[in-house]
Amino acid sequence: MTNANRTVQFKIYRYDPDQDAKPHMQDISVELESTDRKLLDAMVKLKAQDDSISFRRSCREGVCGSDAMNINGKNGLACLTAMDSFPEGKPIVLRPLPGLPVIRDLIVDMTQFFKQYNSIKPYLINNDPPPERERLQSPEDREELDGLYECILCACCTASCPVNQNKETEAYVGPAALVRAFRYLFDSRDEGAEERIALLDKKDGAWGCQTLWKCTEVCPKEIPITKQIGQIKRRIYESKP
């Protein structure tokens, strides 16, 4: 789909649990200009046309993670999705992230997601008295964290994970929480490896991952999630006597 002035068709999931008996898909089209390059630009125009359409957004730069949604069947960020990546003449189908309760339209309840995230103690554990300024680490140790800290907690990965969607395995902590656990396990300033490993060494922890790669396929920050989870499993294994 080119970025010239054009009309684009959308099918948007609409549901207000307080008013609607069930969800429905709304057909709506919008006139776009060549400057409307990203899906979020188009959605802002849609919202101007029908202000009852609800979705989250903030930074428009792939930083806040708030505009994660299911776009033509794949989870992603509206602000990073180029309009010219869509095929011509076909409606763009937008749904909320799968597996999370819908608050309204494309807005989901992230309570469970953050409960999973908080369960792995997503903060630096270091019981030494704090230094006068920050806790330092060598440039080499800092480099070790490249590719580990970029997660923006958009939930695209966890909402793509078939294990997380399965009612029998839904207690699984999920890929986003494991990415954060990985980040602290490999931080030279962190002293919480033992207690974090105890939290991860469970069937609903790192061992819940069935290496299906669905998380890695959708991560907008291109974090090698499945690989990192594999390294957590190895770290757990090596920690055993």
Interface residue list for ligand FES (CB under 6 A): 57-60, 62-67, 77, 79
Helix axes 175-185 and 111-118, enclosed angle (nearest 10): 30
Q: Which is nearer to ligand FES, 79 or 218 (CB)?
A: 79
Instruction: Report the partner that residue 45 touches, choosing among ligand FES, ligand SF4, none (CB closer than 5 to 8 A by kind).
Output: none
C-alpha distances (whole Å) from 68 to each of 39, 64, 81, 130, 155 are 11, 10, 10, 37, 7
Instruction: Report the partner that residue 76 touches, choosing among ligand FES, ligand SF4, none (CB closer than 5 to 8 A by kind).
Output: none
Q: Which is nearer to ligand SF4, 205 or 220 (CB)?
A: 220
One-letter amino acid of 86:
F
Long-range Cβ pairs for the range 41-46 (8 Å, 24+): 41/83, 42/8, 42/10, 42/83, 42/92, 43/78, 43/94, 46/10, 46/12
CB of 84 to ligand FES, least distance (A): 18
CB of 35 to ligand SF4, least distance (A): 27
Footprint of ligand SF4 (CB under 6 A): 151-157, 175-176, 179, 219-221, 223, 225
CB of 74 to ligand FES, least distance (A): 15
Instruction: Report the partner that residue 82 touches, choosing among ligand SF4, ligand FES, none (CB closer than 5 to 8 A by kind).
Output: none
Dihedrals phi, psi of 31, to nearest 5 degrees = -85, 125
